[in-house]
Amino acid sequence: MARDGTKTRERIRREALRLFVEQGVDGTTTRDIAEACAMSEGNLYRHFEGKEDLAWILFRDNYAALAGELEQAIGEGGDAATTLRRIVALLCRLFDEEPFRFRYLLLSQHNHLNRVSDDTAGPFAVLRAYFEARIAAKEVAVGPATLATALSIAPVIQVATALVYGELPGPLSRWCDPITDATLRGLSL
């Protein structure tokens, strides 16, 4: 039976994500990743071109996946307040269940956003399109849509940051209702 390397690539991705969050991309070496995966650096290079390639792939794939998850939450319908509650709950759950993924997207976005093409549906673009429609329908009074988008995710990010630094006790889902209430007030909903 031929091995396709899928399990190995997934292990590399998982360990690299953890190391990139714990040590930063710049502070992590290919040797660190290989050691965490109990393999040689040469084996790592059979699966990825290098650390920067791996960092980009992790960002791109997780960025697109989060956009899809947000599209699904928005697609469930409801008024703006109901949808916003669902979005905040999704982000809180992501932080609690996949903290490395959440933190990597948050920490690495500035390093990788310049590589995201205009036609890539990222989380911010998905939310901005949602708010454009809600503003046009007069459901959301705060605009432009970019401001509404920023106001909708800033409370989640700031509370998550406080948890990361130990300034608030976790899990983030514990704070979901206050975050949602603050978000709804910020958007005058």
pLDDT at site 69: 96
The answer to whether 1-48 and 56-186 have equal CATH topology is no
Q: Are 74 and 132 in contact (CB under 8 A)?
A: no
Calpha distance 93→156 (Å, rounded): 11
Calpha distance 172→161 (Å, rounded): 10
When pLDDT is averaged across residues 140-153 and rounded to a whole number, the result is 93
The per-residue pLDDT for range 76-130, each reduced to its tens digit, is: 999 999 999 999 999 999 999 999 999 998 767 777 777 777 677 789 999 999 9
Q: Are 188 and 139 in contact (CB under 8 A)?
A: no
Question: Before 171, cis peptide (omega within 30)?
Answer: yes
Confidence band, pLDDT 50/70/90 cuts, at residue 5: confident
pLDDT at site 4: 64
Question: Before 144, cis peptide (omega within 30)?
Answer: yes
Instruction: Please say whether the structural domain 56-186 has been given the CATH code 3.40.50.300.
Output: no
When pLDDT is averaged across residues 158-184 and rounded to a whole number, the result is 95
pLDDT at site 2: 45
* Cα 94 to chain centroid, rounded: 8
The per-residue pLDDT for range 19-72, each reduced to its tens digit, is: 999 999 999 999 999 999 999 999 999 999 999 999 999 999 999 999 999 999
Q: Are 24 and 106 in contact (CB under 8 A)?
A: no
187: which 2 tokens?
A: 């958007």
The CATH homologous superfamily for domain 1-48 is Homeodomain-like (1.10.10.60)
Domain limits, the chain: 1-48, 56-186
Cα-Cα end-to-end distance for the chain: 58
Q: Are 87 and 127 in contact (CB under 8 A)?
A: yes
Q: What DSSP string describes 68-110?
A: HHHHHHHHT---HHHHHHHHHHHHHHHHHH-HHHHHHHHHHHH
Q: ∠ CA(123), CA(100), CA(112), 5° rounding?
A: 50
